[in-house]
Structure 1
Amino acid sequence: MFNLATLAVVGYVAERALGPARWVVLYAAGAAAGEVTGYLLNDPGAGNSIAVCGLAGGGALALSALERSVGARYAVMVGFSAFAGSTLGAIVMVAGCAAAVLLVVHRDRVPASALAAAPLVVGLALAAVPDLHGPALLGGLIAGWVTNGMFPSTPRSAPLA
């Protein structure tokens, strides 16, 4: 249920900011990067959370601060979820996820480069662990960077912020 609710929020924000064509590319990039890594590591079947990582990674490169902050927030949440294996880890995860909300609330105070760096840092850290969400975030970042010049920069609908 959490993954579907997250897809509804991150997916909606990404689609509004980037348009439906880029949305599909980013979603597929996250899914492909995560699944290929899963098969290479003998751990396939991650589900839609890796596809949402693609949206978050690409969304962190969006034009609007709201979309960048939502992408960065999801990346940070995924990073903190790696700690959830113990009681102390769960506490760290909840505190980190709550702190990640500040990325959205104070998005105008956070430099755009920091919002784009969050998925990069988390993606590299999770790839080193190895966690399938890391390559999925990196796949979304790469796809977002590549598609920045391929699709119009104006979203299909009015921006959210």
Structure 2
Amino acid sequence: MKKKNVIIIGAAGRDFHNFNMYFRGNESYNVVAFTAAQIPDIDDKKYPAELAGKKQYPQGIPIYAQDDLLKLIKKHKVDECIFAYSDVPYQYVMDLASQVNAAGADFKLMGLETTMLKSTKPVIATGAVRTGGGKSEASRRIVDELKALGLKVIAIRHPMP
């Protein structure tokens, strides 16, 4: 079976998490690029092979400006674009979906079953309505409070470029 070429549209957060949870090591897919719009100076970097998986992505995965998305779909004959922002308005999502579809690729959102970490222990998730909303600071405070209660606590975070 032919691998599906995929672009993951994100902001150096949920996009990397979705990749690690579903696409890393998944031989049915070839992630050709990440695109990002919210983090300054992230384009022209790479998601490193050490995190992407050296066997499947020995050169890492390039990160491009989201403005290049439609050109990238054509250039790489992309089958699917995975939308991995969690803090944008509905109209933005649907406008982008229409553009991606018109360029010839499927537009997809990933749900809990394919992206959630599995755990046998209690989990506290920290979220915010936008990038830079204070998730890291809140998480550190929660960890400190739980450790003060004598609990064993670990923090898990998606990789950053």
Q: Same fold (TM over 0.5)?
A: no
Greater RCO (CA < 8 Å, at least 6 residues apart): 1
More strand by share: 2
